[in-house]
Structure 1
């Protein structure tokens, strides 16, 4: 039973197709990722789901282009409501993403994540999912205040994690850093380096899974 890797784009999938895993391209965004993951798990069971791809790193994380992040937690960071200048998450609102139990969109990740991070020489910490990419230093700083220790920003992780949770399968997010979160400066993006880092992280996760699956 192979692990399932979910990526947003064909370019991200291309670097992973030779690994011992099933790779699915979901399309971009939380909804696309959740639907693709749920469909893939319905078609074929897996004992580990990995959300993989490139992403931006928050300034305080210490991550630079070409570095690697592994999830200690996956957070759907824009799930909530604004009350003037104050953001209320689902916990504060008394709402849940699940029909029968409290859940504020903060997903526990695979217990072996620390070992994956160690082997891949990656940073380990919370990874945020948003429906819109952050485009200013002020917005990036506000997210860092709300989620201390946040490493990276992506658009699919929480969708993959939600589908994995419903299926009862452990989940992990792995992101190679292509740029800093904040003002868009495409000239500074390092896509090839980020893709290489992503592959390194996924390969480490598959190595750990292979050792521990029994």
Structure 2
């Protein structure tokens, strides 16, 4: 069974097509990613699902453009309800993303993620998924307080992780850092370097998977 790599865009896919894996372009966003992953897993079984792409890094992570982050867990960070200025997560609301067991949208990553991080020198930590990209210092600070140790922000990881969970397949998120989370300063983005970092992380994950589980 080949691993499945899910990316949001064709630009992200182009750097990965020569790797020994199936590459699926989902489109942008958590719903598109979940549906594409579920469809791909229904069509062909996989031993590992990798959510891959570029993303922004939270300042306390220490990650800079061109660096690499790997998930210790994948968090659907905006899942909950606002009560005035207070945000209530699913555990506080008593809700679950699953019909028959409690689950708050925090997905455990593949248990060999630490080995991939060791080989690549990547940071390992929580990765956040949001439906809207953060665009202010205040919003970034709020998320950093809610999720201590969060590395990066993307729009697909939790959807891919949800589909992988339902299929019983381990999942890993790999993000090459293109920019800092916060105000949109496109002049500071480093997309080629982020794409190169993403490829490095995915290639190492596939290497570890082949050695340990393939």
TM interval, short-chain normalised: over 0.9
Residue matched to 2:98: 98
CA distances 1:2-33 after superposition (whole Å, capped 9, x unpaired): 00000000000000000000000000000000
The yes-or-no answer on 1:118 pairing with 2:118 is: yes
Residue matched to 1:167: 167
- For residue 213 of structure 1, report the CA deviation from its aligned partner: 1.1
User: Aligned runs of 1:54-203 on 2, under 5 Å?
Assistant: 54-203=54-203
The yes-or-no answer on 1:25 pairing with 2:25 is: yes
Q: 1: CA distance between counterparts of 2:16 and 2:124?
A: 21
SS of residue in 2 equivalent to 1:16: coil
Q: 1: CA distance between counterparts of 2:197 and 2:171?
A: 19
SS of residue in 2 equivalent to 1:206: helix
- For residue 121 of structure 1, report the CA deviation from its aligned partner: 1.1
CA distances 1:47-97 after superposition (whole Å, capped 9, x unpaired): 100000000000111000000000000000000000111100001000000
CA distances 1:106-163 after superposition (whole Å, capped 9, x unpaired): 0001000000111111000000000000000010000000000000000000000000
Please list every run of 5 or more consecutive structure 2 residues that lacks an aligned counterpart in the other structure. none
- Normalising by the residue count of structure 2, what TM-score does the alignment of the two structures yield? 0.99
Which segments of structure 1 move beyond 6 Å, counting only runs of 4 or more?
A: none
Residue matched to 2:52: 52
SS of residue in 2 equivalent to 1:173: strand
Q: 2: CA distance between counterparts of 1:95 and 1:181?
A: 29
SS of residue in 1 equivalent to 2:72: strand
Residue matched to 1:207: 207
SS of residue in 1 equivalent to 2:132: coil
